Amino acid sequence: MSKFIHYSSLTKKYIMSIAGFFLMMFLIVHLGINLFILPITENHEDVFRNGVEFMTSNPLIKVMEVFLFAAFIIHIIYGAVLQIKNWMSRPVRYRIEGWSHTSFFSKFMIHTGIIVFIFLVIHLMNFYLVKEGFTEALSGPVTVENNHDFYHMAINLFTNTTYSVIYILFIVLLGFHLNHAFQSAFQSLGWNHSRYTPVIKAIGNIYSIVIPLGFILIPLYFIFLY
Amino acid sequence: MNLTLKIWRQENPQAKGRFEKYDVKDISSDASFLEMLDILNEQLIHEGGDPVAFDHDCREGICGACSLYINGRPHGPDTGITVCQMHMRNFRDGSTITIEPWRAKAFPVIKDLMVDRFAFDKIIQAGGYISVNAGSAPDANVIPIPKENAETAMDAAACIGCGACVAACKNASAMLFVSARVSQFAVLPQGKIEAAKRAKSMVAAMDEMGFGNCTNTYACEAECPKNISVSHIARMNREFFIAKVTDSAKK
Amino acid sequence: MIKLDSKVPEGPIADKWNNYKSSQDLVNPANKRKLDIIIVGTGLAGAAAAASLGEMGFKVKIFGIHDSPRRAHSIAAQGGINAAKNYPNDGDSIYRLFYDTVKGGDYRAREGNVYRLAEVSNNIIDQCVARGVPFARDYGGLLANRSFGGALVSRTFYARGQTGQQLLLGAYGALMKEISRGSVEMYPRREMLDLVMIDGRARGIITRHLNTGEIERHSAHAVVMATGGYGNVFFLSTYAMNSNGSSAWQCYKKGAAFANPCFTQIHPTCIPVHGDYQSKLTLMSESLRNDGRIWVPKKKEDAQKIQKGELRPTEIPEEDRDYYLERRYPAFGNLVPRDVASRAAKERCDAGYGVGSTGLAVYLDFEEAIQRLGKNTIEARYGNLFQMYEKIVDDNPYETPMMIYPAVHYTMGGTWVDYELQTTIPGLFSAGEANFSDHGANRLGASALMQGLSDGYFVLPYTIQNYLADQINVPRFKTDLPEFEKSEKEVRERINTLLNIKGNKTVDTFHKELGKIMWEYVGMERNAEGLKKAIEEIKTIREDFWKDVKIPGEPFNVNPELEKALRVSDYLEMGELMALDALERKESCGGHFREEYQTDEGEALRNDEDFTFVSVWEFKGKDKKPELHKEPLSFEFIEVKQRSYK
């Protein structure tokens, strides 16, 4: 464990970045399934249920789940460790703080990170831990059939407007986090190139808008159209 | 022009510092920022006060001694230059200017606006050189070096070791400084021989001296008086990665 | 009474250095560890010497006034470093570099030393490249060269406009390597305040820690001064604010003779003075003269209109511009040596053709070069200099010509040394700008870096060994010896005296007064009457200083005013010696121009009959006139001619 903490600053950052990449890929898959809550196809409910079924029971995914949790934990612990060192590196603050950080959201990674973490805990309580039988599904307009019935759990949550608004806020902050995270992960791994870095930054911007937008569509649907 | 200055005063490294307010009058807009401080100091001496201590030497932007954090920015509002090259025409008449020392655990204050940057020397000592002794070098043109590589090396080597990167970084990280040196040698054939060892030991020294971690905010690049690019940080990240992977492979 | 023996080895000029090296005494590796060497100064010469001696196995202690060795003022050299590589195939050779340097120095340098300098110049380039100095290269990957004043070949190697920085960082890297190996110990933020002698030999120094004010004693078997020049006597100069000649002056007072103090280089291309508050002058590299053309208006009316701001330089038609360097010196044109270019600028300005609001400036114009080569090429060559100019002057040199005026830049004079770089005090060596040896009465551009590194990398490591060879049985010195005690007491007394004057005038006030006198009477043009006047006035200021200087703060803390006061008190003595030397040298040569001695065309008129010697001044005690000794110069391998760049 102590070796884990005492890795050099760069090694910690590689691990952070790799874990981050993994999480960003997971988000795409997650969004892909979530979108089927919306009536985008005839059989969207079946697609969603099948997706959830696959994601919760496929042995390969089970293995991946371990990695996923590991990635979350590592990303969070290293984020905290690095941040504490960063705070310790400037014991006396400036009277006037600098504003020259050219990557704006980078200034707030720890803040957006903590908020995303809180969201993650709520999210796990609402779904994952229900499935595992640790928590109860919240009640709402529809009946939850069993602890694998994510479809009805989701509908119950999103039809609660307060929940949906908070959900949207969390996702926007996640977008801020992702905006810096995407290109930063490339930089930390040493992938900087005069021609490709602007492309990476552009992809990062698109990613950090499209993914949250996709997630936000769902509560929006429930607020305005359901 | 007339100005109000809020300056950090600290008697010695142990003392508790405070901001003091001073007024200076009739400053020419053609004067440099440091000349304005000279005028303030003359004034303070005449009034029986203690002149403000600040680091400076060449006053042409190359020695890297000057180190003032002015209105929230290292080396003040202008870009691509050091404080000593900045002239008062960058300020408006009647404005208030807040001057602070570099703030970082690794840069303790010596007095007022002077900080000790020995940590940079320690990092260089860890490997910021090519280990050849005087007298044994082959002819300079024996190894041709592509012009682009020489230019990249020069871009990195332009670092003046002022510490503005550390001062600007919200994490007080020294990555730009360290990577400039690592990068300079990494692109030259002469430096490649020790590249792996250099990257590892300089990063270790950097961590040990108490600098923060890089979170890729790029404030360093924005404030570097020599416009050193963060692409050098990426190169160091690469060099370090390769060094570590090669190490594991050897084991 | 000092004895001057230049110790130049016998033999043909090309063999002298080799002969020396093959017959000198050496110290065996086991004994090297037992020998301590103090090096004062961390510039090119100091850092290079410390690194090299450390590599050889000596125990080295290096002292610098900055927080890091990298801040020494060698870092500010812009243009380049000369070497006789002849890579461009334009007819260069070691002999030609030697010849150009001696001629450029107006035949007032010692042949043997200069030849050695030219000889090792090539090794310097090799060494620097091996250490990762990113010199400019052409597309084939080989090293590029450019031209500098006083030479008809392209032999200057460069790293953009920051050659000094890159060379210093190379030497600094080597120094850091040795520090981490433990062979060199670094003492940053120390200012040397006295030389300690034991039995007639240099054995240590007294320093003040600039952060804590602590006075410290350090001993060694030999001491090397690599402390740079003393041009800050003039107050305004291109020197760094903290550059000073005080250490050399302390050595002078302990018996190290001072040579050619009046040989000061005034650099022709500096940004002109603009106000009373100005603290220093900024150099614009000589390399600019490769492409820039220097001119003033042909008509006095035009010049006056420009001075009043009624006319812009771009409005003056080509035929009304006087490219006076091209007119007077068709062969070298804008690339005449510095002394010649500086004097020509002064001549035009004194005659009323100067430009700028003060009338003390000339134009350096890139219009023609931009047309010929394109803006991009000019930007690639001089971009950083143009940017620097624009930041300082707030004027765009791509559109309007730059304004330049000469400023004090380098001191060719310095501590007298023999061929081994040893001063008249046994065990005290002097390297780089601090010594007088290689540049005669005028230094050529890009030769300072060459000399600093030559002394540090390749000369001292040999010659110091020759001295230390018979010291192997001398044990390390303890610093509680009475000699140290006495020196420290004197230093403390001096500091206390200064702090207790509690007068009314700041140190800078005195420094500025001194600077004005020096510039007026001991500057670009000198005459007997002015020099006598300067000597008198300096004496008055000095007396006033010791009665009326005001130094705030305490001795045991950071105290920049005290630091300055200690230096200015020395400048007030140095200035007098410079004037005295200029008065005694009744000829014009190089940077020393006496109005009484000039040709009909206004060129410097040397008097080889009576003045082919090095003026060597020996300190005779406080308020006593120093004694002038002469080291005759003989030119066996070069024909002494009237210097002509026409």
Render each residue's pLDDT in chain B as its tens digit; 251 residues: 999 999 999 999 999 999 999 999 999 999 999 999 999 999 999 999 999 999 999 999 999 999 999 999 999 999 999 999 999 999 999 999 999 999 999 999 999 999 999 999 999 999 999 999 998 899 999 999 999 999 999 999 999 999 999 999 999 999 999 999 999 999 999 999 999 999 999 999 999 999 999 999 999 999 999 999 999 999 999 999 999 998 888 87
Q: With 70 as the cut, is the pLDDT of residue A4 above it?
A: no
Q: Kindly tell me whether chain B and chain C come into contact, counting contact as 3+ Cβ pairs under 8 Å.
A: yes
User: What's at C454, amino acid-wise?
Assistant: S
Q: Which residue of the set C328, C338, C443, C526 is catalytic? A: C338
- Indicate which of B151, B217, B248 best probes the interface with A, i.e. most A CBs within 10 Å of its own CB: B217
The per-residue pLDDT for B56 is: 96
CATH of B118-250 given 3.40.50.2000, 1.10.260.40, 1.10.1060.10, 2.10.10.90:
1.10.1060.10
Is residue C553 within 8 Å of residue C621, measured between CB atoms? Answer: no
- Strand partners for C265: C410
Please check whether residues C396 and C295 belong to one and the same domain. Answer: yes
Report ipTM (2 d.p.).
0.97
- Is position C152 within any domain? no
Instruction: For CATH 3.10.20.30, list the domain ranges present in chain B.
Output: 3-111
For residue B129, the chain C residues in CB contact (below 8 A) are: 131-132, 173-174, 176-177
Strand order across the B73-74 sheet = B18-24, B3-9, B96-101, B68-70, B73-74
Q: What is the CATH number of the domain that holds C332?
A: 3.90.700.10
Name the residue facing C242 among B12, B57, B129 (closest C-beta). B57
Q: What is the CATH number of the domain that holds C507?
A: 1.20.58.100
Give yes or no for B75 touching C (CB within 8 A): no
Q: How many domains does chain C have?
A: 2
Is residue C411 within 8 Å of residue C437, measured between CB atoms? Answer: no
Burial of B99-135, coded b for 16+ CB within 10 Å and e otherwise, reads bbbbbbbbbbbbbbbbbbbbbbbbbbbbbbbbebbbe
Q: Quick one: B3-111 is in which CATH superfamily?
A: Beta-grasp domain (3.10.20.30)
Cβ-defined contact of A100 to B222 (cutoff 8 Å): yes
Residues 193-232 on B with a CB inside 8 Å of C are none
Residue B139 is classified by DSSP as: P
Distance CA C462, CA C473 (A): 19
Closest residue in C to B187 (Cα) is C132
Please check whether residues C295 and C392 belong to one and the same domain. Answer: yes
- Is position A96 within any domain? no
Name the residue facing A98 among B212, B219, B231 (closest C-beta). B219
How near does any CA of chain B get to the CA of C639, in Å?
32
Name the residue facing B216 among A89, A94, A187 (closest C-beta). A187
Q: Are strands C59-63 and B3-9 parallel, antiparallel or unpaired?
A: unpaired
Please check whether residues C518 and C385 belong to one and the same domain. Answer: no
Distance CA C404, CA C306 (A): 15
How near does any CA of chain B get to the CA of A86, in Å?
4
Q: Rounded to 5 degrees, what angle do the CA atoms A100, A106, A110 make?
A: 130
Q: How many domains does chain A have?
A: 1
Please check whether residues C502 and C602 belong to one and the same domain. Answer: yes
- Report how far Cα B143 is from the mean position of its chain's Cα atoms: 32
The per-residue pLDDT for C506 is: 96
- Report how far Cα C450 is from the mean position of its chain's Cα atoms: 12
pLDDT digits (tens, 9 = 90+) for A17-36: 999 999 999 999 999 999 99
How near does any CA of chain A get to the CA of B167, in Å?
9
Cβ-defined contact of A101 to B217 (cutoff 8 Å): yes
Is residue C392 within 8 Å of residue C270, measured between CB atoms? Answer: no
Q: Is C378 exposed, middle or buried (0-12, 13-18, 19+ CB in 10 A)?
A: buried
The per-residue pLDDT for C646 is: 83
- Is position C390 within any domain? yes
Cβ-defined contact of B46 to C242 (cutoff 8 Å): no
Average pLDDT of span A101-126 = 90
Instruction: List, as one string, the DSSP characters of C395-447.
Output: --TTTS-EEEEEEEEEES-EE---TTSB-SSTTEEE-GGGB--SSTTSPPTT-
pTM metric for this prediction = 0.95
Burial of B139-153, coded b for 16+ CB within 10 Å and e otherwise, reads ebbeeebebebbbbb
Instruction: Compute φ and ψ for C412, nearest 5 degrees.
Output: -75, -30
Element (H, E) at C579: helix C560-584
Count of Cβ atoms closer than 10 Å to residue A68 Cβ: 16
The per-residue pLDDT for A28 is: 95
The per-residue pLDDT for C385 is: 86
Closest residue in B to A97 (Cα) is B72
Q: What is the CATH number of the domain that holds A48?
A: 1.20.1300
Q: Is B213 exposed, middle or buried (0-12, 13-18, 19+ CB in 10 A)?
A: buried
pLDDT digits (tens, 9 = 90+) for A46-94: 999 998 888 888 899 889 989 999 999 999 999 999 999 999 999 999 9
Count of Cβ atoms closer than 10 Å to residue C330 Cβ: 10
Below-70 pLDDT ranges, chain C: none
How near does any CA of chain B get to the CA of C3, in Å?
33
Report the neighbours of A using a cutoff of 3 or more CB pairs below 8 angstroms. B
- Strand partners for C523: none
Give yes or no for B139 touching C (CB within 8 A): yes
Please, what sign has the CA dihedral across residues C174, C175, C177, C178?
Answer: positive
Instruction: For CATH 1.10.1060.10, list the domain ranges present in chain B.
Output: 118-250
Is residue C163 within 8 Å of residue C79, measured between CB atoms? Answer: yes
Going by C-beta distance under 8 Å and a sequence separation of 6 or more, which residues neighbour residue A46? none
Q: Which domain holds residue C567?
A: 482-607
C343 catalytic, yes or no? no
Give yes or no for A94 touching B (CB within 8 A): yes
Cβ-defined contact of C131 to B49 (cutoff 8 Å): no
Give yes or no for B221 touching A (CB within 8 A): yes
Q: Kindly tell me whether chain A and chain C come into contact, counting contact as 3+ Cβ pairs under 8 Å.
A: no
Q: With 80 as the cut, is the pLDDT of residue A2 above it?
A: no
Q: Rounded to 5 degrees, what angle do the CA atoms C419, C421, C422 make?
A: 105
How near does any CA of chain C get to the CA of B4, in Å?
19
pLDDT digits (tens, 9 = 90+) for C603-612: 899 999 999 9
- Is position A97 within any domain? no
The per-residue pLDDT for C384 is: 80
Element (H, E) at C379: helix C375-393
Give me C52's structure tokens: 């090299």
Long-range contacts, A109-118 (Cβ 8 Å, 24+): A109/A79, A109/A177, A109/A180, A109/A181, A109/B215, A110/A79, A110/A83, A112/A173, A112/A174, A112/A176, A112/A177, A113/A76, A113/A79, A113/A177, A115/A170, A115/A173, A116/A170, A116/A173, A116/A174, A116/A177, A117/A76, A118/A170
How near does any CA of chain B get to the CA of C175, in Å?
9
Name the residue facing C391 among B31, B81, B129 (closest C-beta). B81
**B115: helix, coil or strand?**
strand
- Strand partners for C283: C270
Please check whether residues C405 and C488 belong to one and the same domain. Answer: no
Count of Cβ atoms closer than 10 Å to residue C189 Cβ: 21
Cα C596 to Cα C53, C525, C578, C585: the distances in Å are 47, 10, 18, 11
Closest residue in B to C178 (Cα) is B125
Report the neighbours of B using a cutoff of 3 or more CB pairs below 8 angstroms. A, C
For residue A8, the chain B residues in CB contact (below 8 A) are: 200, 203-204, 207, 240
* Confidence band for A99, pLDDT divided at 50, 70 and 90: confident
**C450: helix, coil or strand?**
helix
Q: How many CB pairs under 8 A join B and C?
A: 226
Closest residue in C to B146 (Cα) is C141
Q: Which domain holds residue A167?
A: 2-88+106-224
Is residue B164 within 8 Å of residue B174, measured between CB atoms? Answer: no
For residue B154, the chain C residues in CB contact (below 8 A) are: 134, 136, 159-160, 166
- Is position C594 within any domain? yes
Residues 78-137 on B with a CB inside 8 Å of C are 78, 80-81, 85-87, 89, 110-112, 114, 116-118, 120-121, 124-126, 128-137
Cβ-defined contact of B150 to C134 (cutoff 8 Å): yes
